[in-house]
């Protein structure tokens, strides 16, 4: 018997405000057909007024803790994956900790963009396997809508992103049979900073002159994200295929033995191409991008939540997950739910 990480609770929070492709067409030069053809997205949810990432995370976390059937004070660590923090500092994990009404346990943010959830999962898994912490609250939450360029200049990025949050509670579990018991088999993380400027926000930082941001930079719009779509698409397909194969090879598992695939939801066409190249049947791939868009670090746990609620992800199933994002970063995880 070995100490392994087991998922014992999950929660989700999606803002109530729905933004359809036709709604966006009223703001920028686009259309429902154009967006669906290129990304598969039909609608997304955006926050209203003062809602923040930690607000969404609080709702998701409370549901996850309730489902885990533990007291919130039994949480030994909070790991919060996000690239849309409530404030410049401190990190969202501390704000969530305060809103949960707990204190003392470590709380840290993981800022790895669309791969943030798997990077965070790898940390949680290691802390649990080493016997350092027993119960870890793992959160992915994003409010991207407030930072998008809602003009024609930002069209290619703006149509892709939505807001949302999801949370998991992982606990230490004695694994008796890896063919049956819930556990994280392995995670695999990579990055190549040579491509950092292919998808980035060039402003709002300490790398531009002598100020965090200037009026001229705001007028220029460099505080909004920009993307080289073709380069991102090509690298995403290649790297996600590679890192999925890495996880399978590491664990000596055939791709046909995997019951369920949870991919990051950046673009439906990316996921379809990955499935085609690896010979994965469509019924094994669960996509949510149609109704949520790209919710960055929240995407994979949101998909997990929906798949469980729809009865498509069931206890005992072998799951492979992969993501690719800005950095460039890419990662995979293999686990039994």
Please list the active-site residues.
114, 264, 294
Q: Which residue in 21, 243, 42, 13 sits closest to 142, CA to CA?
A: 13
How far is residue 110's CA from residue 167's CA, in Å, rounded to a whole number?
Answer: 14
- Positive/negative CA dihedral, 38, 42, 46, 48: positive
Are 179 and 228 in contact by the 8 Å Cβ rule? The answer is no
- Give CB contacts under 8 A, 24+ apart, made by 66-72: 66/9, 66/11, 67/8, 67/9, 67/10, 67/11, 67/169, 68/8, 68/9, 68/135, 68/169, 68/171, 69/8, 69/9, 70/8, 70/9, 70/135, 70/169, 70/171, 72/100, 72/101, 72/102
Helices 116-129 and 299-309, axial angle in degrees (round to 10): 80
How far is residue 117's CA from residue 293's CA, in Å, rounded to a whole number?
Answer: 16
């Amino acid at each position: 018997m070995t100490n392994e990480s087991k998922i014992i609770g999950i929660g989700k929070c999606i803002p109530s405000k729905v933004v359809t492709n036709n709604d966006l067409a009223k703001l920028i030069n686009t259309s429902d057909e154009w967006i669906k053809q290129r990304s598969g997205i039909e609608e997304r949810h955006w926050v209203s007024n003062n809602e923040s990432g930690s607000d969404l995370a609080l709702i998701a976390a409370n549901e996850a803790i309730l489902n885990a059937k533990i007291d919130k004070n039994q949480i030994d660590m909070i790991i919060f994956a996000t690239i849309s923090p409530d404030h410049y500092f401190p990190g969202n994990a501390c704000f969530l900790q305060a809103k949960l009404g707990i204190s003392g346990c470590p709380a840290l943010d993981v800022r790895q963009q669309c791969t943030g959830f798997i990077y965070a999962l790898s940390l949680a898994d290691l802390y649990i396997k080493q016997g350092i912490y027993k119960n870890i609250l793992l959160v992915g939450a994003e409010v991207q809508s407030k930072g998008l360029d809602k003009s024609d200049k930002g069209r290619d990025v703006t149509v892709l992103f939505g807001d949302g949050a999801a949370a998991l509670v992982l606990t230490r579990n004695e694994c008796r049979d890896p063919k049956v018991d819930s556990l994280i088999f392995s995670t695999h993380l990579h990055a190549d900073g040579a491509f950092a400027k292919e998808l980035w926000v060039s402003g709002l930082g300490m790398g531009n002159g002598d100020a965090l941001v200037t009026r001229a930079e705001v007028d220029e719009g460099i505080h909004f994200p920009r993307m080289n779509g073709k380069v991102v698409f090509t690298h995403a397909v290649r790297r996600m295929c590679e890192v999925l194969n890495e996880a399978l090879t590491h664990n000596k598992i055939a791709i046909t033995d995997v019951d369920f695939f949870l991919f990051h939801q950046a673009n439906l066409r990316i996921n379809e191409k990955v499935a085609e190249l690896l010979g994965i049947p469509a019924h094994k791939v669960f996509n949510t991008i149609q109704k949520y868009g790209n919710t960055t670090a929240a995407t994979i746990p949101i998909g997990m939540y929906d798949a469980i609620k729809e009865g498509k992800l069931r206890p005992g199933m072998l799951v492979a997950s992969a993501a690719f994002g800005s950095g460039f970063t890419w990662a995979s995880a293999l686990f039994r739910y």
